[in-house]
Amino acid sequence: MVENNSEEDAGSARWVLACELRRLREASGKSLAQLAEDTNYDRTYLHRLETGERLSKLPVMEALDAVYGTAGLLVRLWGLARLDGFKDKYREFMRLEAKATIMQKYAMVVPGLLQTEDFAREALALAPAPISPAELEENVAARLSRQELLRRSPPPNVRIILDESALRRPASDPKVWHDQLERIVDEAADAPHMTIQVIPFTAGMHGLMGGSLSLLWMADGSSVAYLEDNNSGDLIEEPGEVARYRLAYDRLRDAALSPPDSAAFMRQLVEDSRP
């Protein structure tokens, strides 16, 4: 039986995924040891997926779908399960983000969509509330899973404006920070659907200081805004309010360095950060 930590867990997408993983393995007649050989993943780790103790990364679900011949079922269940750990407003934002065709974002820190695994791990470990190593790895996996939306077909059109502060506050490990800056530059250079701009300190104060903003457009033309700071997030759906934040974003974009100048600025930071 799948172990539940509370009655609230029963019936959650994560619980359903764990049950299905256990059912599929037992129906296939495989032991955990055999499954570990088939997938090249550790037996203990696979057991924790079946008990709901851990939530995997996407490649694990893809490997298990291939072993069981389930045609993407586990990947789809995983997509729902990864939302379980987030607060209601953020969960709804993630659901909308996953199907948005156009995204415009402003951030004062490196946004999750651009974070490397090592940088995400350090950033999440700094949360004020104590967190266990297992919880930390779960949070890292959940954060990195959001990046899959950038690789869907067709990908969304994304514009990210980074405050210079996001590029000046390094990780504690110089190599982690260098790799993180390289990742941002590579995304800007290699992804034709993504534009990254920098709003420099010299641009002065602006209307979006103090947090982050995401603007999302759906295929039907509807749009939402999501405002977030260190402690809370606010999903805005009223058209007039969304339009107000879109105008603030447009003004910020006009004050930012051009995409070519932003790329040159970030490439210099990469060079300066070499360990």
CA distance 225 to 214: 6
What is the structure's pLDDT at 5? 47
How many whole angstroms separate alpha carbon 80 and alpha carbon 99? 13
Question: Does domain 88-115+148-272 bear CATH number 3.30.870.10?
Answer: yes
Q: 199 in the Ramachandran plot: left (φ > 0), alpha (ψ -120 to 50) or beta? A: beta
230: tokens are 């260190």
Q: Which two tokens stand for residue 71?
A: 């045609």
Averages of pLDDT over runs of 10 residues in the chain (275 residues) are 46 84 94 93 88 81 93 87 63 85 96 96 88 85 87 92 96 96 91 94 91 94 87 82 95 96 96 92
Contact 167, 148 (CB under 8 A): no
What is the reported pLDDT for 245? 95
SS3 131: coil
Assign a CATH topology to domain 13-81: 434 Repressor (Amino-terminal Domain) (1.10.260)
Rounded to two decimals, the pTM is 0.71
Report the candidate in 129, 110, 124, 244 with the shortest Cα–Cα distance to residue 179: 110
Q: Where are the domains positioned within the chain?
A: 13-81, 88-115+148-272
Report which residue type is found at 45.
Answer: Y
Quick one: pLDDT at residue 223? 94
Shortest CA distance to 274 belongs to which of 196, 180, 164? Answer: 180
* Predicted pLDDT of residue 230: 61
Nearest to 2 by CA among 55, 74, 16, 134: 16
The pLDDT of residue 30: 93
